[in-house]
Amino acid sequence: MILTDEQKAAIAHAVVDPNAWADHALRELGEKAVLEKVRKWLPEYLEEKERLGSDYKNRAERELEQQV
C-alpha cells in the first residue's frame, strides 16, 4: 500500500510515528484499518493546517514541544 503525502500527514496528525503505525496496521489489520484512520483524521488535519498555516505541528512535534 502506498500512501499519499496527505494521507501520511493525516495519520501523523494523530500518531507519533505514522510509518510504524501504518506498517503495524497493515500487517495486523489490513489496508482497511489504514484507510479508516485516514478518513477519521483527515478533516481535522486539514482544518488545523489551514487554520494554523506554517505554525501547524503534527503529533510528534506537539508532544516534543510539551516535553520542553
pLDDT of residue 22: 95
Total-model pTM: 0.91
pLDDT of residue 63: 95
Instruction: With cut-offs at 50, 70 and 90, classify the pLDDT of residue 68.
Output: confident
Evaluate whether 54 touches 43 at the Cβ level (below 8 Å): no
Model pLDDT for residues 16-60, shown as the tens digit of each residue: 999 999 999 999 999 999 999 999 999 999 999 999 999 999 999
pLDDT of residue 33: 97
User: Where on the phi/psi map is residue 53: left (φ > 0), alpha (ψ -120 to 50), or beta?
Assistant: left
